[in-house]
A and B are shown apart, each in its own frame.
Chain A
Amino acid sequence: QKEVEQNSGPLSVPEGAIASLNCTYSDRGSQSFFWYRQYSGKSPELIMSIYSNGDKEDGRFTAQLNKASQYVSLLIRDSQPSDSATYLCAPWRDNDMRFGAGTRLTVKP
């Protein structure tokens, strides 16, 4: 079992729709959870962080965390073509951040 699992995609949604990205992790000791966006040929960019169970909203982005289920998700509302990228899930504990392989999202105009 991989430490961090994400559907590789591609996930394709029409412009204006909600994109839902999911992630499961194996380390129950994970303390913080991050979502990074990575455009093709670019480096990862931090877009969301969540530390406790529940939802956290920031603009069009909502992160959801359920530690009991070892599940974290990212919702992107009103998806735009500029959201087309790979989204990396990254649980963290004790100076150790692990990444999933990422989900490739395509938003079609």
Chain B
Amino acid sequence: GAGVSQSPRYKVAKRGQDVALRCDPISGHVSLFWYQQALGQGPEFLTYFQNEAQLDKSGLPSDRFFAERPEGSVSTLKIQRTQQEDSAVYLCASSSTGTGIYGYTFGSGTRLTVV
């Protein structure tokens, strides 16, 4: 596609509910990144894929967070048993290179509100 596509754009979840956020990167982009952005803060790294391999998941805040990219294109970030502190914008970014040295292109994000 022309850009990084994320869905849904907005998600309201009741506390304890599971959610799945989707990211469709730019076609052919090797690297895919997930970030979490709280209000008034910069994006915080969650996890990184190179093709289908998850090479870094050090930023995932707890074992309730899980990400996958099974075929090396679309990725899903899943949050189990959502908590209020999970409320944030979740940003997906992709890069054409294996490392992202030339910068990332971000999607529009999914705004998650846990009530």
A88 touches B103 (CB 8 A): no
B48 touches A95 (CB 8 A): yes
Binds B, one of A55-63, A67-75, A76-84, A98-106: A98-106
8 Å CB interface, B45-63 against A: 45, 48, 50, 55-56
Q: How large is the interface on B (under 10, 10 to 19, 20 to 34, 35 or more residues)?
A: 20 to 34
A102 touches B42 (CB 8 A): yes
Q: B13-35 interface mask toward A, CB cutoff 8 Å, 1 = contact, 0 = none?
A: 00000000000000000010101
- Residue pairs across A and B with CB atoms within 8 Å: the count is 54
A101 touches B40 (CB 8 A): yes
B101 touches A88 (CB 8 A): no
Q: How large is the interface on A (under 10, 10 to 19, 20 to 34, 35 or more residues)?
A: 20 to 34
Residues on A lying within 8 angstroms of B by beta carbon are 4, 31-32, 34, 36, 42-46, 49, 88, 90, 92, 94-102
Q: Can you show 17 pairs from A to B with CB atoms below 8 A apart?
A: A32-B102, A46-B104, A46-B105, A49-B102, A49-B103, A88-B43, A90-B42, A94-B99, A95-B48, A95-B100, A96-B45, A96-B48, A97-B104, A100-B42, A101-B40, A101-B42, A102-B41
